[in-house]
A and B are shown apart, each in its own frame.
Chain A
Amino acid sequence: MSDQSGVTRFVITGVGLTAPGGANDLPEFRRRLLAGVSGISTIDLRYMGEVPAGICSFPETKYRKKKENKRGTRAGCIGVYCAGEALADAGIDFSEYDRAKTGVYIGLTEHGTVETENEVYNISRFDYNVDYWTHHHNPRTVLNNPAGEITMNQGITGPHYSIGAACAAGNAALIQGLQMLQLGEVDLALCGGISECVGSFGIFASFRAQGALAEHEDPVKASRPLDKDRNGIVISEGGSVFTLERLDRALKRGAKIYGEIVGYAMNSDARDFVLPYGPRQSECMHAALDRAKMKPSDITLINTHATGTRQGDVEECRAVREVFADCPETYTNNTKSQIGHAMGAAGVLELAGNLPSFTDNMIHPTINLDNLDPDCELPGLVAGTARQVECVDTLLNNSFGMVGINSVVIVKRFVAK
């Protein structure tokens, strides 16, 4: 995946994000993560009442008018903000890139649930007369909606689509963007993940029905992956979009480089609708390492996917212990303990939060880990407070999802060679 010319090396040059708790750019997100500040609060949901959730608050009209936000979706609104921020962060104004050779690839766990629930509620006030069903329903719920809203906002005329990959979607969109760059289909990829899940009571209710929705009297303590007293997922909204470029093009324009994607893999459990499967996750991590031509001990930090469910956390920890046995220099952390589970955004938002470790050599902590579940022991687990290490060279980002989908992305500190 890499060569000396830089033609087939791919780098992250811009990051736009909004994270639960009010971090709306990478420096602020990093500051909060290192401080171990929970971004979780509560939401009062139709039919459900108050539940812990991760809510974003960002300048929604920075890149488009309120009218357009009203017409579009929450996912589109988050996407437009994140994409605008990523391009600004990367210093890309399309003078050096052609909008027709720019692709937008957005990972989503689901889309249309929020909008459909809202419309059913709307017509319930009119005796379920479908004459009152909105004409905005279809453009809002087509699966490409959030990616398409970004192209409309930026005037991007290259390809756009969504990647449906449950909670592996953020990583999957990064992989898609990278592959389209490799194929020469595009010269610039805007890729990332978005979640508007907190707008759907059904998503909360379904996790509750599964016994997998976190509950705690103090919402900031509700998200507690790896802890003995964990009792499920805290659902969050959020988003992160990266600009991904070929290294030679990035160097030519003097771009700031956050890191180089050197490995990735995706696979399927092929066995259960909801229960994750450690052995397949382990295979996925091995496959990503093989592609990167790396040994497990080459990885400095693993961002675990663990969401706070009983079996999910145990399966992943077992897989990580198996792959990273005898790796004393490898650390692990869990970002969901701080921001909850941002679903389609999780993979890329968590990766974004760890990228600054290449420059500050800090590892942000797993919080709410009061009693580590012995089945969730991990090598070099950073908990409670941030840890300064000698040098962070390589990140391995795990992101897994329902119906048995696994994704791993490996990002390396950029070295010119």
Chain B
Amino acid sequence: MTRDEIKDLILEIIEDIDEDAEFDGLNADSPLRDQLDLDSMDFLDIVMELRKRYKLQIPEEEYPELATLNSCVNYLEPKLKDV
């Protein structure tokens, strides 16, 4: 999966959680939580969706890697390189 594909994947999952989410002007280096209506349970939804789709087991101590869109891409790129 390319970096752009991973970015689209994350946005697609967030849109599935909140179809009213507004991505225009989203800063890829700022925390998603500060820009979108997301809380800790929503982040667990993202973790669960990655598990369901790609059998990815993300350890709890690595959840902070999902804080921004760019950190998501950086963290997931090696894990999804063969997808």
Contacts and interface: CB of A to CB of B under 8 A. Distances in A.
A67 B18 contact: yes
Contacts of A65: 18, 20
Which secondary structure characterizes the binding site on chain B? Answer: helix
B51 A66 contact: no
Nearest to A122: B52
Using C-beta atoms within 8 Å of the partner chain, give the interface range for chain B: 10 to 19
B48 A67 contact: no
Contacts of B13: none
B32 to A, nearest CB: 14
Which secondary structure characterizes the binding site on chain A? Answer: helix
Contact of B17 (A67, A126, A131, A132): A67
Contact of A135 (B17, B18, B37, B48): B48
A102 to B, nearest CB: 25
Contact of B41 (A66, A126, A131, A135): A135
Using C-beta atoms within 8 Å of the partner chain, give the interface range for chain A: 10 to 19
Interface string B40-72: 010011001001100001000000000000000
B19 A66 contact: yes
Contacts of A66: 18-20
Interface in B11-40: 17-20, 37
Nearest to A135: B44
Interface of A: 65-67, 70-71, 126, 131-132, 134-136
24 contacts: A65-B18, A65-B20, A66-B18, A66-B19, A66-B20, A67-B17, A67-B18, A67-B19, A67-B20, A67-B37, A70-B17, A71-B41, A126-B52, A131-B51, A131-B57, A132-B48, A132-B51, A132-B52, A134-B48, A135-B41, A135-B44, A135-B45, A135-B48, A136-B41
Interface of B: 17-20, 37, 41, 44-45, 48, 51-52, 57
